A = this chain, B = another copy of it.
Amino acid sequence: MTNAPDRPIAADSIGLLEGLTTTRSIRRYTDDPVPDEAMRDIMFAATRAPSGSNRQPFRFIVLRDGEIAEQAKAIIGRGARAVWAAKRENEGYDKGSGIDPDSPKARMARSMERYVDDMEKVPVLILPCFVRHRPANATEGASVYPACQNLLLAARGLGYGGVLTIWHAYVEDELRELLQLPDDVVIAATITLGKPEGNHGPVRRVPLGDLIYDGVWGDNAAWAVDPSGTRHTSAGPPKPPPS
């Protein structure tokens, strides 16, 4: 393998369907950096995603080291900690089953707590941006989020992992100023990336049959059956305990 900037994309170590079905949201990272070579491959794959009329209205601000990156991480960290504290309270993470430290609720709370506490240390912070060419509308995300998903999948293919969040939404003015964003640019997401402390693997969803209709809304698709052994979860954050 050559280290020339225009070298070929890395060879594959896992298959496409395997990658699609076992890429988890990774919030805990080792201190390992993500080198230029991996960043190039990840961003090349991200930008191969489709967009309306192939306008490619996505721009990715990649923040790793240096003063601007540190400031951006600190701004997002501050916003994330404030929002998470409120969410933890409002959604009752410390009540009901959350009292048991081994409950999924308590484990999720610990994972989120550490994630927001360590935001300044994430190896890579990426802000996918969307350049509007017409007024805001309900389908504009179709031209930026497919690229975000390609990004997360490519990271996985190279031994990394990440998570798509909207933490920027709470500190957007500060970020826009720091990063000198033009007015017609929307920050579409806050993605963090790094080498996972944990592992990728099967993800949990509601049963497939609940998500797929064959014909009119609500009509069951007889063929929409999870592979044997698929583990399920209910949709959304833990429900607040009855008050």
A interface residues with partner B (beta carbon < 8 Å)? 4-23, 25, 36-37, 39-41, 43-45, 47-50, 52-64, 66, 68-69, 129, 136, 138-142, 144-146, 148-150, 152-154, 156-158, 163-164, 166, 169, 178-182, 185-186, 188-189, 203-206, 208, 211-218, 221-228, 233, 235-237
Query: What B residues does A204 contact at CB under 8 A?
Result: 54
Closest CB of chain B to A75's CB: distance in Å? 13
Residue from B39, B59, B215, B222 in contact with A66 in the complex, judged by beta carbons closer than 8 Å = B215
User: Which 7 pairs of residues, A with B, have the shortest CB-CB distance?
Assistant: A141-B141, A12-B15, A145-B145, A16-B19, A36-B223, A146-B149, A5-B225
Check B141 against A142 for contact (C-beta < 8 Å).
yes
Check B17 against A188 for contact (C-beta < 8 Å).
no
Docked complex Cα distance between A44 and B150 (Å): 17
Check B138 against A145 for contact (C-beta < 8 Å).
no
Closest CB of chain B to A120's CB: distance in Å? 17
Check B211 against A56 for contact (C-beta < 8 Å).
yes
Docked complex Cα distance between A166 and B181 (Å): 28
Check A6 against B224 for contact (C-beta < 8 Å).
no
Check B185 against A217 for contact (C-beta < 8 Å).
yes
Query: What B residues does A237 contact at CB under 8 A?
Result: 53-55
Check A211 against B59 for contact (C-beta < 8 Å).
yes
The 28 listed contacts between A and B (C-beta, < 8 Å) are A5-B223, A6-B227, A7-B227, A7-B228, A10-B17, A17-B41, A40-B225, A44-B226, A47-B205, A47-B208, A50-B164, A53-B236, A54-B233, A54-B236, A54-B237, A55-B235, A55-B236, A56-B205, A57-B235, A60-B213, A62-B214, A138-B186, A141-B144, A142-B166, A146-B149, A149-B150, A178-B216, A185-B217
